[in-house]
């Protein structure tokens, strides 16, 4: 312990004594204290001896104080453990009592089981073919072993199943014949193909077109899916098929457009359509023009004309309705405003807001 100076009651300075001679074996503290007090006086020496005795007594009592402190902490922990054990006993007793009471109540009370409401299952459509699979019946009675079994009825469970898509190659054979009388060779004509010299059947072409325009599946994804099924249809081949089908269907589209645009009333609208491309998705527009005079007693057949565009520019309605003059029921889209001009040819369009 490093000595530190302090002021005595008589105004003199002295060093703080060490706690015990064990910390000051040479008596340096006492010597310094005497010199700091201006000499070794009897009062100072008496005070030093009294401080030494107090320090020695404190060192002797330190272990006992530590033991008493430790004993107090241990007793406190013991009392806490006793209280926790008593609480656990009370909880166990209460739980047992509650369990017995619940069992007694269950024996005297009818408890209704919870029944989750399930939606009524609709029957499968009648146009689907049914395949009957009969589970083999037992040949003898499982109870007595008798073979005298009589059929009482049957339970039928219907399960919806799908047949995976099947690919096949249709071989169209045209036989050639030679006439023995004139040596002429005859052969029936080749059947019609949508694509001249093409190798894709009408069902395959319809599927490709529906996937592209009806399901918005790009041709590259279709090609990858066909490859997973073992069919090699490259993207370029599918694109050629789509172009050939568009050329073959153009006359039919022109007839539908002529019929729709000759109506006196049209319903027009547009809706966003996601256009999937490689690595991104664009938003295009599908324009729909409907002719339906049945609510007004009209005898002409209804028809729908579809147009597609990459954006919603007002130029598209101008191009689509070039040959139309009549009543147009549509929303307040500003792209229709130029159609309402009085000097428009072949005639002005009357707007009927929906």
**How far is the C-alpha of 309 from the C-alpha of 243, rounded, in Å?**
17
- Over 60: is that where the pLDDT of 41 sits? no
pLDDT-based confidence at residue 78 (cuts at 50, 70, 90): confident
| Residue span of the structural domain in which 33 resides | 12-87
CB 265 within 8 A of CB 324: no
pLDDT-based confidence at residue 30 (cuts at 50, 70, 90): very low
pLDDT tens by residue, 179-202: 999 999 999 999 888 888 889 999
CB 241 within 8 A of CB 195: yes
User: Are 245 and 268 found together in one domain?
Assistant: no
User: Are 237 and 275 found together in one domain?
Assistant: no
User: Counting beta carbons within 10 angstroms of the beta carbon of residue 217, is it exposed (0 to 12), middle (13 to 18) or buried (19 or more)?
Assistant: middle
* Mean pLDDT of the residues in the chain: 82
User: Are 243 and 281 found together in one domain?
Assistant: no
Number of domains making up the chain = 3
- Over 70: is that where the pLDDT of 114 sits? no
234 falls within a domain: yes
- Full 3-state SS string of 233-271: CCHHHHHHHHHHHHHHHHHHHHHHHHHHHCCCEEEEEEE
82 falls within a domain: yes
Domain boundary among 217, 232, 254: 254
- Over 70: is that where the pLDDT of 43 sits? no
Instruction: Please name the residues in contact with 12: beta carbons below 8 A apart, sequence gap of 6 or more.
Output: 36, 37, 38
80 falls within a domain: yes
**How far is the C-alpha of 245 from the C-alpha of 211, rounded, in Å?**
14
123 falls within a domain: no
Of 255, 230, 223, 97, nearest to 169 (Cα)?
230
Structure token pair of residue 118 = 């399930």
User: Are 249 and 267 found together in one domain?
Assistant: no
User: Are 221 and 292 found together in one domain?
Assistant: no
Domain boundary among 87, 117, 133: 87
67 falls within a domain: yes
349 falls within a domain: yes
pLDDT tens by residue, 267-318: 999 999 887 766 778 889 999 999 998 988 888 999 999 999 999 999 999 9
Domain boundary among 219, 254, 289: 254
pLDDT over 70 for what percent of the chain?
A: 76
Q: CB count, 10 Å around CB of 223?
A: 19
155 falls within a domain: no
pTM for the full predicted model: 0.57
If one compares 45 and 118, the residue with the highest pLDDT of the two is 118
Q: Is 228 helix (H, G, I), strand (E, B) or coil?
A: helix
If one compares 155 and 70, the residue with the highest pLDDT of the two is 155
Angle at 318 between CA 314 and CA 319, to 5 degrees: 115
User: Are 228 and 274 found together in one domain?
Assistant: no
User: Are 285 and 242 found together in one domain?
Assistant: no
CA distances from 328 to 32, 119, 244, 265, 340 (A): 118, 44, 34, 6, 10
Structure token pair of residue 145 = 């072993």
Q: What is the DSSP string of 205-222?
A: HHHHHIIIIIS---HHHH
């Amino acid at each position: 312990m490093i000595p530190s100076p302090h002021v005595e009651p008589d105004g003199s300075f002295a060093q703080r004594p060490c706690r015990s001679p064990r910390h000051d074996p040479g008596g340096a503290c006492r010597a310094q204290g005497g010199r700091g007090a201006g000499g070794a006086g009897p009062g100072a020496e008496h005070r030093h001896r009294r401080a030494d005795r107090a320090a020695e007594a404190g060192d002797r009592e330190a272990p006992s104080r530590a033991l008493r402190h430790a004993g107090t902490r241990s007793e406190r922990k013991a009392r806490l453990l006793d209280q926790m054990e008593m609480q656990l006993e009370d909880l166990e007793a209460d739980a047992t009592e509650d369990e017995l009471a619940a069992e007694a109540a269950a024996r005297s009370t009818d408890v209704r089981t919870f029944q989750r409401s399930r939606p009524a299952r609709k029957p499968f459509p009648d146009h689907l073919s049914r395949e009957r699979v009969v589970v083999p019946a037992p040949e003898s009675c499982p109870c007595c072993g008798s073979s005298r079994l009589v059929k009482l009825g049957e339970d039928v469970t219907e399960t919806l199943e799908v047949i995976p898509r099947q690919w096949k190659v249709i071989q169209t054979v045209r036989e050639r014949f030679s006439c023995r009388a004139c040596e002429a060779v005859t052969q029936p004509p080749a059947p019609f193909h949508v694509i001249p010299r093409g190798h894709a059947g009408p069902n395959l072409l319809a599927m490709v077109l529906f996937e592209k325009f009806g399901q918005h599946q790009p041709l590259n994804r279709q090609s990858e899916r066909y490859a997973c099924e073992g069919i090699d249809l490259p993207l370029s081949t599918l694109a050629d098929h789509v172009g050939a089908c568009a050329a073959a269907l153009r006359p039919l589209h022109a007839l539908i457009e002529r019929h729709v645009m000759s109506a006196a009333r049209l319903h027009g609208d547009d809706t966003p359509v996601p256009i999937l491309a490689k690595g991104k998705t664009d938003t295009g527009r599908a324009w729909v023009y409907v002719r339906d005079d049945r609510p007004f007693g009209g005898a002409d057949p209804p028809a729908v004309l579809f147009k597609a565009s990459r954006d919603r520019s007002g130029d598209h309605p101008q191009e689509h309705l070039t040959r139309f003059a009549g009543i147009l029921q549509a929303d307040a889209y500003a792209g229709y405003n130029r159609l309402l001009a009085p000097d428009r040819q072949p005639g002005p369009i009357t707007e009927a807001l929906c």
